[in-house]
Amino acid sequence: MGFRKMMASLGAGGASVETELHQADVVPGGVVEGSVRVQGGSVEQRIQGLTVGLQARVEVERRDAQGNETESLQNIEFHTQQIAGEFMVQAGAVHDVPFSLEVPWETPVTMFMGRQLTGMNVGVTTELQIARAVDKGDLDPVNVHPLPAQEALLDAFGRLGFAFKSADLERGTMRNTRQRLPFYQEIEFRTPEQYRGLKEVELTFVADGEEMDVVLEMDKKPGLFGGGSDTYRSFTMSMHSFAETDWAAYLHQWLAEVGGKRNWF
């Protein structure tokens, strides 16, 4: 029996976990509700703890010894919550643990207008802690829909003729913002003809419960007298009074001013 218990603690014949989300659609600042089912194995087993969290797939840039930059994708768990401490699971028994997992305000958006944003991968992780071993469950995807202020901004780009191209998460810090997570989201748009001097525009928003920092990176097309160049501009939106502004008109005026000063348009 002692040998079987040791094997169980290392994963052989031991308990397993399965997570069920009650609702996969969430918003930043909201809550993911679900339950974790711990299925006992062939022997009695002591569970040391049970944790759920949120994980995202993030681009990480590295520089090698020769100074060359390389990019790779890395799964980063950016929020965790312990939902159970130590407990015993009898052989073959089932133990259900409900949870309510808070979604940080900065959680990247993965959906817009009912469609998945290409490049986004966010989900709930589950970790069962056993002596000398950890049993990680599969990633359970969640659909993170934009907050009303974020939706207003995304809709404004669409009204101006910008077309969604892709989205990614980059490890690092967006300067002069309220960012707290170790990565930030970039949503890339193709530019319409009226902004012919622009190659593309990348949008980043960093929100909390009161305000949202908005950063635009505008990539100029290479021209006859020089190569392309990037220009960063930022502003802050209220999460409560944003509806008082015509954001399409605001963005158009803003882009026109920036482009006019640099002879882009």
pLDDT tens digits along 43-99: 888 889 999 999 999 999 877 666 677 788 999 999 999 999 988 889 989 999 999
Q: Is the same domain home to 218 and 97?
A: no
CATH at 37: 2.60.40.640
Distance (Å, whole) CA 149 – CA 142? 20
- How high is the pLDDT of residue 8? 43
Distance (Å, whole) CA 145 – CA 91? 41
Confidence of residue 7 (pLDDT cuts 50, 70, 90): very low
Number of domains in the chain: 2
Q: Is the same domain home to 38 and 6?
A: yes
Last-in-domain residue among 114, 144, 174: 144
Q: Is the same domain home to 111 and 227?
A: no
- For the stretch 153-172, pLDDT in tens is 999 999 999 999 999 999 99
* Average pLDDT of every residue of the chain: 85
> Measuring CA to CA, which residue among 28, 25, 61, 59 is closest to residue 186?
59
- How high is the pLDDT of residue 133? 61
Q: Is the dihedral of CA 20, 24, 28, 33 positive or negative?
A: negative
Name the token pair of 93: 């028994």
Distance (Å, whole) CA 53 – CA 87? 20
Q: Is the same domain home to 161 and 137?
A: no
Could you say which DSSP state residue 244 is in?
G
Last-in-domain residue among 144, 175, 194: 144
Name the token pair of 174: 């967006």
**Number of Cβ atoms within 10 Å of the Cβ of 112:** 19
Q: Is the same domain home to 101 and 202?
A: no
Q: Per mean pLDDT, which range of 55-59, 86-90, 114-118, 219-223 is the poorest? A: 219-223
User: Collapsing DSSP states into helix, strand and coil, what is residue 239?
Assistant: coil
- How high is the pLDDT of residue 66? 67
Q: Is the same domain home to 133 and 224?
A: no
Name the token pair of 50: 């049970």
Phi, psi of 93 (to 5 degrees): -80, 160
- How high is the pLDDT of residue 261? 59
Q: Is the same domain home to 194 and 103?
A: no
Measure CA 142 to chain center: 10
Q: Is the same domain home to 82 and 139?
A: yes
Distance (Å, whole) CA 217 – CA 128? 41
Residue 22 and residue 143 in contact, taking contact as beta carbons nearer than 8 Å = no
User: What DSSP assignment string belongs to 32-58?
Assistant: EEEEEEEEP-SS-EEE-EEEEEEEEEE
With a cut of 90, say whether residue 231 has pLDDT above it.
Answer: no
Q: Is the same domain home to 83 and 70?
A: yes
Strand runs labelled E in the chain: 16-21, 25-26, 31-39, 45-47, 49-63, 69-84, 87-89, 94-102, 111-112, 115-116, 122-130, 133-136, 140-141, 143-144, 163-171, 183-190, 198-207, 211-220, 230-238
Name the token pair of 86: 């130590």
User: Collapsing DSSP states into helix, strand and coil, what is residue 193?
Assistant: helix
Q: Is the same domain home to 244 and 132?
A: no
> What is the domain extent for residue 63?
2-144
Last-in-domain residue among 126, 144, 162: 144
- How high is the pLDDT of residue 69? 74
Q: Is the same domain home to 137 and 232?
A: no
Residues 6+ apart with CB under 8 A from 250: 156
Name the token pair of 164: 């969604």
Q: Is the same domain home to 134 and 171?
A: no
